Amino acid sequence: MLRNANDIGALIRSARQAKGMSQAALAQRAGVRQTWISQVENGKPTAALGLVLQTLNALGVILQGRTAEQMGQAGLGAGSDDVDLDALIDSYRMPRREEHA
């Protein structure tokens, strides 16, 4: 779940890194400055919502909103098509280790 500016920043950083993009390349694509991307990725709480959405769009990230009640009623979990954004973000935060055969 996205609960605060830090979560949104982590999502943007994870999506950008997964695409192999630099902050400068994302900034150019989104029409913002590289310093703004850096600030948002670090949890800037006063970031303009329009620019955040513009940046997510530049990354191809689609947000689907649900209330807590809807999530409970939908029985989200195993077998659901929904993505656990917390787990996705955490997977990009953890250093990847190569498996040795």
* CATH code, domain carrying 19: 1.10.260.40
- The answer on pLDDT for 101 being more than 50 is no
Residue 100 belongs to a domain: no
Domain extent for 76: 5-93
Number of domains in the chain: 1
- Look at 93 and 57; give whichever has higher pLDDT: 57
Residue 101 belongs to a domain: no
Residue 34 belongs to a domain: yes
Residue 99 belongs to a domain: no
The answer to whether residues 27 and 42 touch, using CB atoms and an 8 Å cutoff, is no
**With a threshold of 0.75, does the pTM exceed it?**
no
CA 22 to chain CA centroid, Å, is 15
CA distance 25 to 68: 35
In tens, the pLDDT along 18-70 reads 999 999 999 999 999 999 999 999 999 999 999 999 999 999 998 888 777 77
Residue 70 belongs to a domain: yes
Residue 29 belongs to a domain: yes
